[in-house]
Amino acid sequence: MKKYRNLSLLLILLLLIGSFQVQAQKRNKKKAAPAKKAAVAAFNPKTDPPFLAPVASKWVDSVFNSLTPEERIAQLIMIPVYSNKNQVHIDSISRLITNYKVGGLIFFQGGPVRQAHMTNRYQRESKVPLMITIDAEWGLAMRLDSTTKFPYQMALGGIEDESLIYDMGAEIARQAKRLGIHVNFAPVIDINNNANNPVIGFRSFGEDKYNVTSKSIAYMKGMQDNRILANAKHFPGHGDTNVDSHYGLPVLHFSKLRLDSTELYPFRQLMKNGLGSLMVAHMNIPVLDNTPNLASTLSKSIVNDLLKDEMKFKGLVFTDALNMQGVAKFYKPGIVDVKALLAGNDVLLNTMDVKTTIEEVKKAIANKEITQAEIDERVRRVLAAKQWVGLDKWEPIETEHLIEDLNSPRADYINRQLTEASITLLRNKGNLLPLKALDTLKIAALSLGTSRETEFQRSLSRYAKVDTFFLPPTASIADLQQLKDQLKDYNVVLVGVHRLQLKASGNGTFGITAEMNLFLKDLIRSKPTVVSVFGNVYSLTRFEDIEKAHGVLATYQENELTQDVAAQIIFGGVGAKGKLPVNVSSAFRMGDGLKTEGGLRLAYSVPESVGLNSKDLAGIDSLVHAAIAARATPGAQVLVAKDGKVIYQKSFGYHTYENETPVQNTDLYDLASVTKITTSLAAYMKLNGEGRFDVDRTLGEYLPWAKGTNKENLKFRDILTHQARLKSWIPFWRDMVNEKNGKFKRNTFSPDSSAKFPYKVSQNLYMHKDLKNCVYDAIFKSPLNEKPGYVYSDLSFILAPKVVENITGQEFETYLKENIYKPLGAHTLTFNAYQHYPLSRIVPTEYDSLFRKELLHGTVHDEGASMLGGVSGHAGLFGNANDLAKVMQMYLQDGEYAGRRIIADGVVETFSKCQFCPENYRALGFDRPSKPGSQNGNAAPSAPAESFGHTGFTGIYSWVDPVNDIVYLFLSNRVNPTRENPTLSRMNTRTNVMQVVYDAMEKAKAEKAQAAPAIGSGR
């Protein structure tokens, strides 16, 4: 019994103990609950690194628990990878991943598709998903080809609208995610207060700590809001050094007060805004750690004590590359890595000996220099960051369309916005810029530093006639003198300084020679000169007296976009907005930057700048390619401008079906009947605004020749609306042919030029000097149509030059060029193009088998115009789409362009209105939609009734939509090789192309409306 009683007591005791344990566990749970809540509350989403946000950590726990001690160490190792190296390199990286389970990769030079393939392979081979990183300070293009290159940070430092920098950060994040990248080692938040800094310089936002900070926060948030971890570098500040830490160890002899107030300021502010990671620089800073030759990366006082303990940084701490000479010259691979880890760094960047590094860390743990718990804590944070960037749900990178996706139209638009906002106007003497009164200027475009035509010169020539000159670095004194003589007669010289060195290495001249300096100094002294410096802004100090130039533009770097935008600023397409982010000299101080207004002339941009999507205009390309494939035309130029911006400008195909000369944007086309609205009508409207021409007066009142003929009393309102009963056309040349033998009559045409036969009709045919009068006589003798009503006629427009000459006392072409084309800068608009341009720039029209019996190239296609010496009011004008757009934009703006009233207010609006609707849909000289909304009309189905323009027989279409602020031009030579080719009209290519623009507008409008409720519902 005693035995059983003891057992019972034992059982009761065990039950009591169990009960006490259960109660204790409940009490502990109650105590733990507030602690857990406190931990959740401790996370501040505004200030703490985003990857530390409390989330379910099953993935982190699972991965961590699967790792051996060696594999945990390896998670803190990141190795360098190149996608432009051979298979040996690719396989060697694979072995490091499979053998040692390294935690991540940093990709360097190569290409996106190659990198994607490598990343996919390595991720599949890795036990734990790899953290992929890259230096993409100005976008992926810093390391990879075929990607978008955004402006350097020094350029961004001059931007006032920091939302653009946020957008850039967001776009870089999008591209990085598309390429399987998780960390971008950007932004550089070093304050560049040393102009001779050999390693930072243009990579910094500038020298003002507040400006650097605000720009850096915008860049950081743009990335981290889109799940790419930002990395601020280079802690504790690399902006005031004279040694490149890639090659040596800089020593900073600063006080703690200086570091605290200046260099550390941006780091503290970014930390307050949720900075995810930073990079520690290789610098020796005695005031923080006086150990000789010890880089900050390896200093516990700097990394652990200052950064982590004092500054309370909770994000990931990366070393700078451990193969840089700032540390590598003092410590061997493996040794340097463990020293960095002991200093407090979380991730070892560019570990060059993974095996030795792991062994050395294990030794350090054994020697109690670091604990396994410290390693484990860092590993967990690395894994948490991996989970935050999405590696817990890793998927392979899709390589199809990768290049296209990385180079999105939105990226291009952001890039353009950044460039437009950054370029800085530092001098504008007498408000010379933007250039005005082009008809008073003789402009030279001089490129310093190169002997080839630059994008800057090409961009300038879109606005006006500019003559190009060059001064290469090898120029001799004799070359300088010759160039000086050549520039003597120009009253404005636009100088572009090219091919400058990015850094002031060597002799510190940025590649500016003494000859270049001497010439520019003399040029500035002698005449109005505008200097655009395409390179490092600090190079301005190397030009003597540059501050005395009439204009100085700092563009910060050289590429096609900076050259394009600089040209647009000079001519007023866009305005200058940038501010200097550094002190360059006593003449150019931080904060300097003059503003100018944009929109003075056409700007050149992208569809996104007017709220459209580039992809939605892709249908234009398809339609034109289809027309060329159907042999509707050998080639074409297409231009679309909206809201004063050219948003689409492309050339397609070739000059002829022989496919020898590709069509360029600068090539000239025979404009055929579009001549009517760009010559005769332009003159009439200008004269009307001056009170010198009235559409309700008669032909006889303005042209004495008409008196006594049946044309005398024809009113211009009827003439210009094609209801004056004039015959549609007269085959003038046929009267010059002998009916018996089919040859030209005597004293009509000759195969050779002479005083008697001065007018070139085609390459091998010249006309008698008196033959023009036969054309006029034939018109005056021609009968009027019996029935009244609309009949499209060339005849009155053939007489128009004589009407204008009678009113003005000037030759027709001279009047047009001096009063309209030159003020517009429309220098390619000309009659007899062969006299002014090489045939290689002029697109041929028809092979004329009847009259001229040869290919027409450089001479007018229309027979009547050719018999008037190539100058007529109905046909004969040549030009390219770019210059024709200036005339049409001037019409769209009711006679005003470039701040100049060319045609009096209200005149174009009056002339472009329907005069006799509905019987006659025509305006005064202009064509209008004959059947608005029709699928097969003379205008796009969506073109409003208020739109107007004209077509040309050779394949031209020129249209203006004042309701939607659109100018549309289609230039082609559909008559090549024969006019008996209606395919272009049958396919409705010209109107269908314009309809693509309207469809894109409708789509953008619908998308905007669809997005609006989503925005409102978030309240």
Domain(s) of CATH 3.40.50.1700: residues in the chain: 423-601
pLDDT at position 620 is 98
pLDDT tens, residue by residue, 745-788: 999 999 999 999 999 999 999 999 999 999 999 999 999 999 99
pLDDT at position 295 is 95
pLDDT at position 506 is 65
Are 820 and 800 within 8 A, CB to CB?
A: no
pTM of the entire predicted model: 0.93
Q: Which of 497, 576, 586 is nearest to 535 (CA)?
A: 497
Give the model's confidence band at 4: pLDDT under 50 very low, under 70 low, under 90 confident, else very high: very low
Over range 153-160, report the average pLDDT: 98
pLDDT at position 242 is 82
pLDDT at position 1013 is 64
- Compute the CA torsion angle 409, 410, 413, 417 (nearest 10 deg): -170
Q: What is the largest CA-CA distance in the chain?
A: 155
Distance CA 149, CA 143 (A): 10
- What percent helix, strand, coil does the chain show, rounded to 5? 40, 15, 45
Distance CA 890, CA 819 (A): 13
Task: Give the DSSP H or E segment for 121.
Answer: helix 112-125
The CA-based angle 838-839-842, given to 5 degrees, is 105
pLDDT tens, residue by residue, 395-417: 999 999 999 999 999 999 999 99
Residue 428's DSSP bridge partners are: 551
Give the model's confidence band at 935: pLDDT under 50 very low, under 70 low, under 90 confident, else very high: confident
Pull the structure tokens for residue 9: 């007591």
Over range 907-911, report the average pLDDT: 98
Asked whether the predicted pLDDT for residue 32 surpasses 70, the reply is: no
423-601 has which fold? Rossmann fold (3.40.50)
The strand ranges marked E within 169-216 are 183-184
Distance CA 830, CA 877 (A): 6
Give the model's confidence band at 505: pLDDT under 50 very low, under 70 low, under 90 confident, else very high: low
What secondary structure letter does DSSP report for 408? -
pLDDT tens, residue by residue, 296-305: 999 999 999 9
pLDDT at position 23 is 52
pLDDT tens, residue by residue, 444-471: 999 999 999 999 999 999 999 999 999 9
Q: Which residues contact 870 (CB under 8 A, 6 or more apart)?
A: 759, 760, 831, 832, 859, 860, 876
Pull the structure tokens for residue 418: 């950044």
The CA-based angle 929-971-984, given to 5 degrees, is 70
More confident residue, 225 or 198: 225
Give the model's confidence band at 503: pLDDT under 50 very low, under 70 low, under 90 confident, else very high: confident
Give the model's confidence band at 17: pLDDT under 50 very low, under 70 low, under 90 confident, else very high: very low
pLDDT at position 34 is 43
pLDDT tens, residue by residue, 713-752: 999 999 999 999 999 989 998 888 988 888 999 999 999 9
Give the model's confidence band at 632: pLDDT under 50 very low, under 70 low, under 90 confident, else very high: very high
pLDDT tens, residue by residue, 546-573: 999 999 999 999 999 999 999 999 999 9
The pLDDT mean for the chain works out to 94
Ramachandran angles phi, psi of 444, nearest 5° = -110, 140
Strand 877-879 and strand 830-831: pairing? antiparallel
Asked whether the predicted pLDDT for residue 490 surpasses 90, the reply is: yes
Asked whether the predicted pLDDT for residue 882 surpasses 70, the reply is: yes
pLDDT at position 959 is 98
Architecture of domain 58-404: Alpha-Beta Barrel (3.20)
Q: Which of 579, 498, 474, 438 is nearest to 155 (CA)?
A: 579
Asked whether the predicted pLDDT for residue 658 surpasses 50, the reply is: yes
pLDDT tens, residue by residue, 960-974: 999 999 999 999 999
Domain(s) of CATH 3.30.450: residues in the chain: 609-665+927-1019
pLDDT tens, residue by residue, 327-368: 999 999 999 999 999 999 999 999 999 999 999 999 999 999
Over range 590-611, report the average pLDDT: 98
Residue 278's DSSP bridge partners are: 232, 317
Are 274 and 235 within 8 A, CB to CB?
A: no
CB atoms within 10 A of CB 942: 18
pLDDT tens, residue by residue, 955-1007: 999 999 999 999 999 999 999 999 999 999 999 999 999 999 999 999 999 99
Determine which of 14-23, 540-549, 946-955 has the lowest per-residue pLDDT on average. Answer: 14-23
Distance CA 762, CA 744 (A): 15
Asked whether the predicted pLDDT for residue 41 surpasses 70, the reply is: no
pLDDT tens, residue by residue, 275-310: 999 999 999 999 999 999 999 999 999 999 999 999
Task: Give the DSSP H or E segment for 759.
Answer: strand 759-762
In this structure, whether the domain defined by 609-665+927-1019 belongs to CATH 3.30.450 is answered with yes
- Distances in Å between the Cα of 658 and the Cα atoms of 534, 635, 977 are 40, 11, 11
Distance CA 813, CA 815 (A): 5
pLDDT at position 733 is 87
Give the model's confidence band at 27: pLDDT under 50 very low, under 70 low, under 90 confident, else very high: very low
pLDDT at position 209 is 98
pLDDT tens, residue by residue, 357-369: 999 999 999 999 9
